[in-house]
Amino acid sequence: MRKKIIAGNWKMNINHLEAEKLLEDLVKCDIKDNHEVIVFPPFTSIPAALKVALNSEIRVGAQNISQYENGAYTGEISSDMLLTLGVKDVIVGHSERREIFKEDNEIVRDKAKKALEDGFHVILCLGENQEIRDRSKEEDFVKNQLINSLKNIDIRGKNIILAYEPIWAIGTGKTCSGEDAEKMCFFIRKTIKELYGEDEASLIRILYGGSVKAENISDLMARDNIDGVLVGGASLKSESFKKLINYEV
């Protein structure tokens, strides 16, 4: 049985003092059996978050990672720096990295490859924008993104998690319906089966992200092909994040 994930992507929010406070509240929550909770603070808040999360079930990950080992890459953070802190989870290919910071599939692939080789659990994000959705081309687009973001990487036996995050549903309050999210996650699983076989398709976890909140998490979590959620806005406040952790099954 695939373990469910509730992940909070804090994006460029929550300084280290705020992270400490938020985590102090979250570690008091009972995490359901067969569930994992991971938070992704900005880099500078990671040490404070790790300190509070130590000895709790909550894991602390990073929102980005360099594809390079070390050297003259101003502003970048390496896999060694994260591993030395004790971070084992990373997000790659978030739509904000792709759109705002112009990371194309090739860069995302290099980051995913490096992180997987170094033993991280990698959450690879995929998802179409409104214009593609309006043309009903979301399946073609996401399939292409998936193939090219994983080109020449054999994910079998690796710790990779996929996150379907339609851009039009991120931070807009416009949630993809449970039915639509399930349809896309099913499609992604089907594509994994074509590319990597039945075993990988049945093992791989696929998350949904985009305006997830207390009102829609139960519906999403109950779907066959949705193994968890990647949450932005609703993970920034202890009250709303706790409601997600304690969602009604």
List residues with catalytic annotation.
Answer: 94, 165
Assess 166 for contact with ligand 13P (CB under 6 A): no
User: Which residue from 243, 248, 245, 241 is spatially nearest to 18, judged by alpha carbons?
Assistant: 241
Assess 233 for contact with ligand 13P (CB under 6 A): yes
DSSP-derived 3-state class of residue 38: strand
Query: Whose Cβ is closer to ligand 13P: residue 184's or residue 201's?
Result: 184
By the 10 Å C-beta count (0-12 exposed, 13-18 middle, 19+ buried), 48 is classed as: buried
Q: Which residue in the set 231, 241, 244, 247 belongs to the binding site for ligand 13P (CB under 6 A)?
A: 231
CB of 231 to ligand 13P, least distance (A): 5
- Using CB under 6 A, which residues numbered 83 to 122 contact ligand 13P? 94
Assess 42 for contact with ligand 13P (CB under 6 A): no
CB of 101 to ligand 13P, least distance (A): 14
Assess 210 for contact with ligand 13P (CB under 6 A): yes
Query: Whose Cβ is closer to ligand 13P: residue 95's or residue 200's?
Result: 95
User: Which residue from 52, 29, 25, 49 is spatially nearest to 39, judged by alpha carbons?
Assistant: 49
Query: Whose Cβ is closer to ligand 13P: residue 161's or residue 231's?
Result: 231
Complete DSSP assignment for 218-247: HHHHTSTT--EEEESGGGSSHHHHHHHHT-
CB of 6 to ligand 13P, least distance (A): 12
CA 33, distance to chain mean position in Å, is 20
Number of residues this chain uses to bind ligand 13P (CB under 6 A): 14
Query: Whose Cβ is closer to ligand 13P: residue 45's or residue 211's?
Result: 211
Rounded CA-CA distance 129/193 in Å is 25
Query: Whose Cβ is closer to ligand 13P: residue 9's or residue 78's?
Result: 9
Rounded CA-CA distance 221/204 in Å is 15
Spatial contact of 150 and 112, defined as CB atoms under 8 Å apart: yes
Q: Which residue in the set 165, 182, 200, 227 belongs to the binding site for ligand 13P (CB under 6 A)?
A: 165
Rounded CA-CA distance 70/118 in Å is 14
Residues of this chain that bind ligand 13P (CB under 6 A): 9, 94, 165, 170-171, 209-212, 230-234
